[in-house]
Homo-oligomer: A and B are copies of this chain.
Amino acid sequence: MVHVDMDMFYAAVEMRDDPSLREKAMAVGGNSMLSTSNYIARRFGVRAGMPGFIAKKLCQDLTIIRPHFFKYKAVSKQVQKVFATYDPNFSMMSLDEGYLDFTSHMQWRRESEDSERTVPVVWRSEEMCFCEKYCPKYVYDENQGQEEIPEKNEDISSSPDLFDEDDSNEENIKASGENLPDFCENCEKRIFKTAPFDAVLFGLDINEAVKEMRFRIEQSTHLTASAGIAPNTLLSKVCSDMNKPNGQYRVLPTREDVINFIDELPIRKISGIGKVCEKMLSGMEIKYCQDLFKKRGELQLISSDISFRYYMKISLGIGSTFVSSHGERKSMSVERTFREMTDRDEMYKKCLDLCNELGGDLKRHNLVGKTITLKIKKSDFSVKTKAQTIANFTDDYELIFKTAYDLLETEIMNSKLLKLRLMGVRMSTLQESSKITSKQNDIKGFLTNMKKKVAKRSAEKPDLIKKGLKRDAEKRETINIKRRASNNLKDMFAKIKETRKVEADDEDDIIVVYEKITDKK
């Protein structure tokens, strides 16, 4: 199982597209909130989820760039194209990361020709030598990496250490057939040790395969990715972070290696263990994954069944061994933060806008839904959601608003003076809109239309066959006798033990049962 995650994704894209940013501390987002930062900024403590103005206190020279989502989506598609060549069933977890199952690729790879593992070089990191002496056939194909990015791309960008020491590829050295120096005596940059010099040959094992994939990604996007290779998703996710940026890490599929890796791993590294959970667990002396197993008694006591299983799986390094393709989407939402709002009508207007947006999104995705959730965040940052499931699937903003309005209304009326900082509307219980026949979803039209139509009562008398006085005899006979008799087999078997016991002492002592049953209403 391989997990791939782009390095400082948004930031990397912005740095790629604006070379002046590359040597600066920078972050992507706004003055209020940052989505990510580059590694220079991270040294100052600037992180995703941090307000920009606070980040600037930590890092005076921080440059903040507004995000360009269309670019990230485009890059993501390029990345996915590469993913697909290694595992057509890859599963994207977000724009910048995904899981791949390399097993079938590795089978193919074992039988592959060198040429099939040779990737042409169409773009070179600035750290690599491409003096004519060592790289006579350098070609830059402008279209190759850019076909899906709908914007000018004026330059090339850096990739720090694609071929660092640990990963140095013996196959390539062999393939080169020459004993070249590591660095160019001219430009002092690293020399490609492959032959032909306009391509890189990768080896047979999975490390090589993953390096090859990452190289392809870099060739295509001019951005670097890191990867984790492990026996399951849980571990590979952690691994992809181990050698960030632009690195990879492998946990071998042996119990030895898994245990060594997991035992000392801080629980917080595991995806799903967040701040709160970490704190709770640290309160019971659990800091590393092995602690989860050591304390399994206490854990089982205080945890739900699901959580306990989850903890145990972590402590044993167990995770999914297959990529579960993302099911259908379960919800779609829009929310917005704004300056403090107290005016009711302004709120309703905002609500309407959100419903409008949401309705558009739904239509665009050919989805309809039944459950509308209104979300509000008060000025004190407290959050409330109020949901309502309506009878009919819809993507119509008027219908959505009809419901959201009611929800908002009750919120407004339940508090003296409502001070809002955010409002959101979500649609869930989704279905593809294709099948739905929502005809007339319009009350007002009906109500005015009513008076005319109702008058003309078409007193048609269709095929009313006399069935006379059946009912009790006929109908109730065929009624399903469900009540007070559970068909549930599970229940049945659960009860058998208890029952047998009761059956044993049959009917000798009424009093016992009399009191056992008692009056519990």
Residues of A bordering B, CB below 8 Å:
51, 54, 57, 275-277, 279-280, 283, 293-294, 296-297, 300-304, 307, 309-310, 312-313, 316, 318, 320-321, 339-340, 342-343, 345-346, 348-349, 352, 381, 386, 388-392, 402-403, 405-407, 409-410, 413, 419, 437-441, 443-444, 446, 449-450, 453-454, 457-460, 462, 464, 468-469, 472, 475-476, 479, 481, 483-486, 491-492, 495-496, 498-500, 502-503, 507, 510, 513-514, 517, 519-521
Residue of B nearest to A301 (CB): B499
26 contacts between A and B (CB under 8 A): A57-B469, A277-B484, A293-B507, A293-B510, A296-B503, A297-B503, A301-B492, A301-B499, A307-B485, A313-B517, A316-B513, A318-B514, A320-B519, A342-B460, A343-B457, A345-B453, A346-B454, A346-B457, A348-B446, A349-B450, A388-B389, A391-B403, A392-B406, A392-B410, A405-B446, A413-B438
The SS class assigned to the A binding surface is helix
**Is B386 within 8 A of A388, CB to CB?**
no
List the B side residues contacting A450 at CB < 8 Å. 345, 348-349, 352
Q: Can you name the residue of chain B whose Cβ is closest to the Cβ of A232?
A: B519
Task: Check A485–B302 contact: CB distance below 8 A.
Answer: yes
Instruction: Output the least CB separation between A369 and chain B (Å).
Output: 14
Residues of chain B contacted by A283 (CB below 8 angstroms)? 481
Q: Which of B297, B312, B440 contacts A517 (CB 8 A)?
A: B312
Q: Are the C-beta atoms of B406 and A390 separated by less than 8 Å?
A: yes
B391 and A300 within 8 A (CB)? no
Bound-state CA distance A352–B451 (Å) is: 12
Q: Is the CB of B517 within 8 A of A302?
A: no
User: How many Å from the CB of A219 to the closest CB on chain B?
Assistant: 36
